[in-house]
Chain A
Amino acid sequence: MKEHLNRTPETSRIDEIIGLIKSRNIRGLTKAISIVENDGEGKEDLLNDAFTRGSNACITIGFTGAPGTGKSTLINAIIRQYRQIGKTVGVIAVDPTSTFSGGAVLGDRIRMQEHNTDPGVFIRSLASRKALGGLSEATKFALYLYKAFAFDVIIVETLGVGQDEIDVAKYVDVTVVLLVPGYGDNIQMAKAGIMEIADIFVINKSDRPGADLLTNQVLNTVHMKPENERPPIVNTIADKDEGIKNLIEAITLIRNRTAPHWEEKYRQRISEEIRSSVFSHLNREVNHHLDEMIEEVLRSSITPIEASKRILPMIGTS
């Protein structure tokens, strides 16, 4: 009874959203994502619920690659394939936020319109906002909400900026890197980062000139690894639905191959989660004292380093 007295309208709204998620209503899921994305009230309750109920039974796949490599089109074809075998699919599609206006055009969905009215497919577009490394904080949290919603397959499409969307690999089971013919030479191949996170390489638009050359270049990169760790290379033509079955086979293969290392991966994720939660609390606390310290430093009474040492003991007391 006592608990009821303390309930604000806000907490009952969060309960309502959690109820909707439990009954697998998409309005619940999408409202939860908005709250988490906007750092709104009730965010922690929603995430706690997701952490408690979410399972790792679903398969999570990350797609990354430069703009124009056909990520959205490929995902569209993959959704179609998974739907044919009766799997439900959740998609998180991330597009860049304009650094000038803070606005964003979220254009991934347009390539997946054929699944618009399919109740077994849920697509949500997210703007990167200020995230670096291709995966926004909101994306990561949305992934946990999706897991609690228990889709069979969860797909994350990350920002196609270029060479270092490496973050996504930490949070998904299988990372797919898309390449297309005509995007740089072997030197690009050798660069660290995106090439190293690939569990699977997809050479999309394989009907274009240069596809064989690119396939060979990737093969050379891949051959540096021991045979049982080599990422498969799959040739696809996404808009003609070619190679999609092979890709899905490769995804299943990788998921089974990496199964022995899951626990290690989960440990890493949990440690990241705890760490980032601590940091976000810290950030908020530090912000409380920041203005006052800036003034002091401006008046040259202390240095920024001294200011930081003064803030530290104040944390947790305010």
Chain B
Amino acid sequence: MNNERKIRVLIAKVGCDIHERGALTLLTSLRDEGMEVIYTGRYQTPAGVAHAAASEDVDVIALSDHTGSLPIIAESVLAELKKLGAEDIKVMAGGLLTLHDVKDLEKMGVTGNCGPGTPLEVIINHIRGIFV
């Protein structure tokens, strides 16, 4: 059929972080994997990201950040998702991450946390893995 189910991903950047290359690379790479990808652009708020994700009915939010704030960002985005009744949307994080951050993120239920140097296939496989 024409309309097979597509994986929809929202790539989001929250707060004051100019580093966009990773998000843009992911944007085109996920498209090339046959996914439908939406990018929020930089300097967003957690509420804005959650609202966009809920409106677009995405399967995953991929948070990108290079300021070392991913756990804080994820926590606020999750809280905003809850307000909107959109807790079913998965959240993953990528960018500047310490092992400590990863532990914190996993406690919140944020999986697929990709630090610097993560090969693209790992990210792609993680997203695909959610839907098997």
Contact = CB atoms under 8 A, between A and B. Distances in A.
A83 interface: no
B37 interface: yes
A106 B5 contact: no
A220 interface: no
B30 interface: yes
Q: What is the size category of the interface that chain B forms with chain A?
A: 20 to 34
Interface stretch (B46-54, B63-71, B99-107, B109-117): B46-54
Interface string A12-54: 0000000000000111001101100111100000000000000
A100 B28 CA distance: 13
B37 A113 contact: no
A127 interface: yes
Nearest to B3: A39
A40 B3 CA distance: 9
Contacts of A103: 6, 30-37
A98 B31 CA distance: 8
A94 to B, nearest CB: 12
Q: What is the size category of the interface that chain A forms with chain B?
A: 35 or more
Contact of B2 (A100, A123, A129): A129
B96 interface: no
A116 interface: yes
Interface of A: 25-27, 30-31, 33-34, 37-40, 97-98, 100-107, 109-110, 113, 116-117, 122-125, 127, 129-130, 137-138
Interface of B: 1-6, 27-28, 30-41, 44-45, 47-49, 51-52, 54-57, 84-86
